[in-house]
Structure 1
């Protein structure tokens, strides 16, 4: 008898929850569950949609605007320095009169000009001054190696003028490009970094999803304990979907942010390499081109990520609708029609 009495008073989660819900009438209990499910699902879905959308927009902006702008500025700076180096080598080796000898520095000037043109619509910074400096610098360099090839003093003056336009402290082409690079890299970091409100949004979404899952389990328990019903298919589907929404978008976001961090490190490396001077400019250009390709591969729009984002939107809508159908149909069948 004592053993039986002891076993009958043994604590269990079902008995505890049954005792907590005992004061409530079944109908009011189901209606309360329906309201809580709707509120939690709506809040969680909205937070997930906003957070996932912000992450995707940041990744797209970095891939389409910020990263190409950083790469373009680095390539422009290296090309301008390489053009100056090649022009001086041409003059020092007395190759000015040799046919086709100036093609290298001209191609570098062309690459610098094309680099600025490509990023004109990908940056909010004003490139007018830099474009003007590049045009004047290109003109001085061309005059020093072509027009005044037979006048050493004028040639030296034009080459000195080109050097001044390129390297003059603060106002030269290279220092201005340095400033543009620093600003653009700062913009790239701000674009890729998740803001404090986005982190709060993720916490809010996860808490709302946890509350939704607990309420779904409670609703399933009430239907089985109070109404003698088997498992509700709508609520079971909503529970599975809630677990998926709590895990898949979060894992995907972590993966995207990891890729963005890697891309930012590569962009910082590109900016650092582009500030090299001396005979290693050709190697620096090759390094920048290789790293830029690596960044492009990292930031290529991932079809799986896009599917997850769209799936989050659809799943958020379903997780609102399914509990409403599951409890709404049961309430309508057992209680509302009898009124």
Structure 2
């Protein structure tokens, strides 16, 4: 069964996204085929489309926050049936044999996980294409069940922004009595506030913008600290068990490290690259503090996050767009002109 698919793709780093007809692989016995209903728009989609990281293989069909309806399943599939609502996040395969994979941490696969788009299939060597398309196919082991009652549109960004912030909250055992700070209020930051609050933590937002206070409190922050105000930052020294740094560009983290308590950790989830200015280790050594990184989450962990969100009525704050407006959405995203995540209504693909 050949799957002829319509999607939107970047054909080069300079070209706008435009319609592309392509073919998906023939479904395998363990595969689930989804009709894509909604697809979130992530900053990494823009980076990949424009080859900002130097690894894009064109054409690039972005999209790794995919929610859809199961249309067919392979003969070995036991987890899904046609008609089920399901999701696909940032990866669609891994080696499944290494230590991280065996421990449900497929995102850290020692052979490298297979990305939902701009990746290479482990079995046939063909490129992977993402959710800016009307159909997508993946192994059942990398497909998520959408729990009853969840808002399907607003759930799409949970598959990246949600799990990216959920995973460190779980890794550092955040719960009642914990003190968490979040740096930056964008797609990742707004989910970090919601999830940390729902887990019972006392939550602070570090922001450069005083006008974000009302929105931050609505999203779950109990306190707001202006990071440009040295006195405010000094007043929260030795406070936080965990700081989730969601800022996607280079920035100085030295002022934040002393606000960690003994054994506290600042974890990067948004920025890839060299720290600049250089990190001064004095505060690390004198407070036994740590700076760490975290990458999305494993499949079981992602399902746990979706179930938690359904139970607590949590979803992303979204703005729905039509597929034809994706290039304008990218330009707006560069200006931080979105609260807090674009989601594409894929019914508009053929409009």
- Do they fold alike, i.e. is TM over 0.5? no
Structure with more relative contact order (C-alpha pairs < 8 Å, separation 6 or more): 1
TM-score range relative to shorter protein: under 0.3
Whose strand fraction is larger, Structure 1's or Structure 2's? 2
Higher alpha-carbon Rg = 1
Structure-1-length-normalised TM-score: 0.20
Structure-2-length-normalised TM-score: 0.20
